[in-house]
A and B are shown apart, each in its own frame.
Chain A
């Protein structure tokens, strides 16, 4: 059967124009994913605290080697502007622009209600954009997935870390975190 109707596709420019004409406001929690405007999930307590713990751990004790951007947009090719929970950015990133793939070391999504989305469509989105490393902190599973080796379809290497393990970043080797401490 033919698809009866097609959902509208929004370009990045149209998405931003919606802000200019007052359709989308600063308080609207939205992101643009491959031409579709998506509502962000309501943040639960466990999600919020996961983001807070991880943010603290990624900021503390590392000097100022990268910028920690929390729940802010990143701009990706293919009409996408998601708002990952955490993005670690290069110090050289343009301080007036929304960061793009070249500015990003690592993206983290904290998942409690969105695991299949974060492990599916979002993961492929970040891989195709060439984000070198992508972590998913799975709150309910008390585990963390580290994805590396992005190519045009997906990440080629995935590693799973559970309490007792120490996760290290391949892009930023200075980062070594205890999973047990993260979920404490």
Chain B
């Protein structure tokens, strides 16, 4: 698990704050395209997204930005400050619509966060990040589980978990609790099932 990397070797990692993170980002400690997150004061490099992850991202970007006059603003793969020592880069955040300027939105600005979990990130999305989203009071979280071809929709955060989980499969349509006008077939997000060997004939 993320936070315990150092437990057995005796090092107590120095904790950087969200404002340290901003100073370091501005100074070019990492490039904007390089996914670096702050988790409990430690910086982590996110693995590069898989091809499937990228495809799902671009479908979601299209589906969530359709239409006009939406009561939300989309932010893709950008910083969201969840706590004094935690800054994530969710695949998507739907924010309350207002002018954000150049600052980092915080948990209070967010309506829905979406994480796309591929093989290299799903377990940390579920075990490490979900509790942080809940603890920060993010009202709704979707975790796209690519491997299982399903989406978990979590809402009503309390402490470090969510009170409700609904799972949506390939044939379902997922709707947002916070933003009910969002109503999307899961298949349109996850895409067609992988072609089987028979299908290739």
List B residues 27-48 near A (Cβ within 8 Å).
Answer: 27, 29-30, 36-37, 42-47
* CB <8 Å contact, B24 and A18: yes
CB A76 to nearest CB in B, in angstroms, measures: 15
23 A-B pairs whose Cβ atoms sit less than 8 Å apart in the complex: A2-B47, A4-B120, A4-B121, A5-B121, A6-B44, A7-B45, A8-B30, A8-B45, A21-B27, A22-B23, A28-B14, A30-B14, A33-B11, A36-B6, A37-B13, A38-B11, A38-B14, A39-B15, A114-B10, A117-B9, A120-B10, A121-B9, A121-B11
Q: Closest chain B residue to A120 by CB distance?
A: B10
CB A63 to nearest CB in B, in angstroms, measures: 37
* CB <8 Å contact, B13 and A5: no
* 7 closest cross-chain pairs (CB), A and B: A117-B10, A4-B124, A8-B43, A37-B14, A5-B44, A38-B11, A23-B20
CA distance A21 to B11 in the complex (A): 24
Contacts A2-B120, A8-B36, A18-B24; A39 near B42 (Cβ below 8 A): no
Q: Is B72 an interface residue (CB 8 A)?
A: no
CA distance A24 to B144 in the complex (A): 38
Residues of B within 8 A of A102 (CB): none
Q: Report A's interface with B, CB cutoff 8 A.
A: 1-2, 4-8, 14, 17-18, 21-24, 28, 30, 33, 36-39, 41, 114, 116-117, 120-122
Residues of A within 8 A of B120 (CB): 2, 4
CA distance A1 to B37 in the complex (A): 21
Please count the residue pairs between chain A and chain B whose beta carbons lie under 8 angstroms apart in the complex.
74
List 19 extra interface pairs beyond A5-B37, A21-B23, A23-B23, CB under 8 A.
A2-B119, A2-B120, A4-B124, A5-B44, A5-B124, A6-B45, A6-B47, A7-B5, A8-B42, A8-B45, A22-B23, A23-B16, A33-B11, A36-B11, A36-B13, A37-B13, A38-B13, A39-B12, A121-B9
CA distance A33 to B9 in the complex (A): 11
* CB <8 Å contact, B11 and A117: yes
CA distance A127 to B146 in the complex (A): 46
- Would you give the 0/1 interface string for B33-72, flagging 1 where the beta carbon is closer than 8 Å to chain A? 0001100001111110000000000000000000000000
Contacts A8-B36, A14-B29, A18-B24; A39 near B13 (Cβ below 8 A): yes
